[in-house]
Chain A
Amino acid sequence: MASAAFEEIVEDFEFLDDWEDRYRHVIDLGKSMEALDEALKVEATKVHGCASQVWLHPVIEGGKFRFDGDSDAMIVRGLIAVLRMLYNDVPVAEVMGVDAKAELGRLGLNDHLSAQRSNGVRSMIERIRMVAGENA
């Protein structure tokens, strides 16, 4: 079971039949997501293996995981917003138990996880799991 915020977005996506509307929604999420502080866009937060530039800034507070992120590509920004809803405020010990592929599949967005896709979603999830694993 994912977070309430994520369940809400799953409900929103249930009303979107075609890819165009789903993308429109992802793009809107990307547009409305606050930008990552420029000072945090450094080598340490940069996620490699992405075709566009992607940054991920994880914070662990009170045993809970959350992250901020950014990208210069708008669809990727939207996917970061989706991943934040999926992972933010999840207890660190439970992060590894989140099946991101299955959850994104519920949104009809799992094609972003195929091997050929280099938009960075897979790399971001790996980074999230690595950080959580080190701090669990």
Chain B
Amino acid sequence: MYDVAKIRADFPILSREVNGKPLTYLDNGASAQKPSVVIDAVNRAYAEEYSNVHRGLHYLSNLATEKYESVRGKIARFLNAPHEDTIVLNSGTTEGINLVSYGWAAPRFEAGDEIILSVMEHHANIVPWHFLRERQGVVLKWVDTAPDGSLDPQAVIDAITPKTKLIAITQCSNVLGTIVDVKSICTGARDKGVPVLVDGSQGAVHMPVDVQDIDCDFYAITGHKLYGPSGSGAIYIRPERMAEMRPFMGGGDMIKDVSKDTVTYNEPPMKFEAGTPGIVQTIGLGVALDYMMNVGMENIAAHEADLRSYAQQRLTGLNWINLQGTAAGKAAIFSFTLDGAAHAHDISTILDKKGVAVRAGHHCAGPLMEHLGVTATCRASFGMYNTKAEVDTLIDALELAHELFA
């Protein structure tokens, strides 16, 4: 039995009011709220356990290092990675994908080499590849979504040519909620010797992830969407790929020895973690993952599937709403526009007055907006603590917006 009331009670911010109305937080796709255990862990880390990591030999440094390093193992368990040394800790998916672009792809790709992307990628999984296009003449090849927002894995595999060096693809669209069958893509890509990077920013939040089952080469996650602190995250990297990577950023922690004429690097994954990391953020992320795993990823996925069905049914019932993305089995992420004069920003302004937080804009997905032929949409994105009553609140607020702008 999924006790959503109990879960809600764990997130203090959910009991506050906004504009005199109870908060209905449906902007989880942008960032999720934090449970008390995470907030308390962050507080405790600073109040009682704080020091730099991997450096001192004193009590607090050992304590902080132990707490921080234990998160690597938690992330490995969360993603079912084969070993904690396959996990590079970082500030989030953006840093993870940039690491792969600079550290692995840049020294290996030549002009004319191809990277395959889906048209629904987030800018974080586009711009690091644009750098290679601009600087090295790498070619970006785009695979379109079907009208319902689904992506045929075979279309991605069919786009592979002898020039293809990488497939970089999301597991779950942040705009449409489409779930991509990344496992089938990896299977097809493996047959043709093409590595696959999976952007797990949204996917890892909404379903159990097993990187060994998916058989991807890279899987990037971001902590603040996983009910953890902002500035935390990680990327799983297949050991063979990690061995091929050169360091991205240089500094402390990633070295063994430095002299005037030489530098030798630390062993992976530390080789890719320069400077003092987000110590407390990472500790908080570990607590957030424990929280999610305690509730159970299957249970979270089932609850959100229930919310998705209900929200989809209610939204489809409004004949003045244009839903973008209705792919089967999608996540509880809904993008839409309204008939009439209302701009996405108009709608979100009215919803905000009703205490309903949604995002309005291009959602960092320019190519998808172009593909859909819209400049902006409203997006309601649900999380583990949302309820059917909140779907009703959203619908009521939308009815008011529709009436105001009709």
| Residue ranges of A at the interface with B (Cβ–Cβ < 8 Å) | 19-20, 23-24, 27, 31, 51-53, 71-76, 119
Residues of chain B within 8 A (CB-CB) of A119 are 345, 349
**Chain A's nearest CB lies how many Å from the CB of B21?**
11
Residues of chain B within 8 A (CB-CB) of A51 are 345, 360-361
**Chain A's nearest CB lies how many Å from the CB of B400?**
7
Contact between chains at B349 and A31 (CB < 8 Å): no
Contact between chains at A74 and B400 (CB < 8 Å): no
Contact between chains at B405 and A72 (CB < 8 Å): no
Residues of chain A within 8 A (CB-CB) of B346 are 27, 73-76
Q: Looking at chain A's contact residues, is the secondary structure mostly helix, strand, loop, or mixed?
A: helix
Contact between chains at A76 and B345 (CB < 8 Å): yes
| Residue ranges of B at the interface with A (Cβ–Cβ < 8 Å) | 19, 341-343, 345-346, 349-350, 353, 360-361, 375-376, 400, 404-405
Residues of chain B within 8 A (CB-CB) of A20 are 353, 400, 404
Residues of chain B within 8 A (CB-CB) of A24 are 404
Residue in B345, B353, B400, B404 whose CB lies within 8 Å of A73: B345
Contact between chains at B350 and A74 (CB < 8 Å): no
Residues of chain B within 8 A (CB-CB) of A72 are 343, 375
Contact between chains at B350 and A73 (CB < 8 Å): no
Beta-carbon nearest neighbor of B19 in chain A: A19
Q: A24-B404, A27-B405, A51-B361 are in contact. Are A75 and B345 (CB under 8 A)?
A: yes
Residues of chain B within 8 A (CB-CB) of A76 are 343, 345-346
Q: A19-B353, A51-B345, A119-B345 are in contact. Are A74 and B405 (CB under 8 A)?
A: yes
**Chain A's nearest CB lies how many Å from the CB of B249?**
32
**Chain B's nearest CB lies how many Å from the CB of A7?**
26
A75 to B405, CA, bound (A): 9
Closest 10 CB pairs of A and B: A73-B343, A73-B345, A74-B346, A74-B341, A52-B345, A75-B346, A73-B346, A51-B345, A72-B343, A52-B343
Would you mind naming 11 contact pairs between A and B with Cβ atoms under 8 Å apart? A19-B19, A23-B353, A24-B404, A27-B346, A27-B405, A31-B341, A51-B345, A51-B360, A71-B343, A73-B343, A74-B341
